[in-house]
């Protein structure tokens, strides 16, 4: 194994140190450049089978692969409109509300409203629904289904479609 700091081959047991927030396995000479971190005991590591099973021991359980965590976009019904920040700001001003007043009505922080209006933050589903209800606006466009897209494609003809029809007539 090589030292992750100097690149030399580590003789003996490597040290786990933290340097600037990064954990590195280093040789004993480079260990002085950071703070030593205790190596966590790994309970999920299984020792290789030696062919003999201890009396009363069970076979190791097979775990399912980790699934991807769902994020806020998985729960949304449609796609958020591109000009959501302008819609929120315009509607808030029409109602005569300040950002602080709107934040109090929605029971969220004022900073959240500021970031949404600047377009720096896409509102989560719960906040989006509250904004739509209080301000009387729509922030989500429904995505067209695949069936609707196919019917639209069938209606329009291309130049290639016309040339095929003419060849069939001759």
Percentage helix, strand, coil, to 5, in the chain? 40, 10, 50
Same domain, 33 and 81: no
**Number of domains the chain contains:** 2
* Residue 56 covered by a domain: no
Average pLDDT over residues 154-163: 66
* Residue 134 covered by a domain: yes
pLDDT digits (tens, 9 = 90+) for 42-67: 555 555 555 555 555 555 555 555 55
* Residue 165 covered by a domain: no
* Residue 119 covered by a domain: yes
Identify the bridge partners of residue 80 per DSSP, sorted by sequence position: 140
Domain ranges, residue 23:
1-38
Across the chain, mean pLDDT equals 77
37: Cβ contacts below 8 Å, ≥ 6 apart: 16, 17, 18, 23
pLDDT digits (tens, 9 = 90+) for 78-132: 788 889 999 999 999 999 999 999 999 999 999 999 999 999 988 888 999 999 9
DSSP string, 57-85: PPPPPPPPPPPPPP-HHHH-SSEE-TTHH
């Amino acid at each position: 194994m090589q030292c992750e700091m100097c690149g030399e081959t580590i003789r003996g047991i490597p040290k786990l140190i933290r340097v600037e927030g990064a954990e590195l396995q280093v040789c004993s000479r480079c260990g002085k450049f950071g703070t030593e971190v205790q190596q966590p005991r790994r309970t999920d590591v299984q020792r290789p089978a030696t062919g003999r099973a201890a009396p009363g021991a069970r076979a190791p359980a097979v775990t399912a692969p980790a699934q991807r965590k769902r994020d806020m976009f998985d729960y949304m019904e449609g796609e958020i409109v591109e000009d959501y920040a302008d819609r929120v700001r315009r509607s808030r001003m029409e109602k005569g509300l300040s950002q602080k007043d709107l934040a109090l009505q929605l029971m969220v922080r004022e900073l959240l409203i500021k970031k949404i209006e600047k377009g720096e933050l896409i509102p989560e589903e719960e906040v989006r629904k509250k904004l739509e209800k209080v301000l009387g606006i729509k922030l989500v466009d429904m995505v067209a289904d695949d069936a609707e897209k196919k019917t639209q494609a069938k209606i329009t003809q291309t130049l290639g479609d016309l040339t095929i029809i003419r060849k069939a007539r001759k």
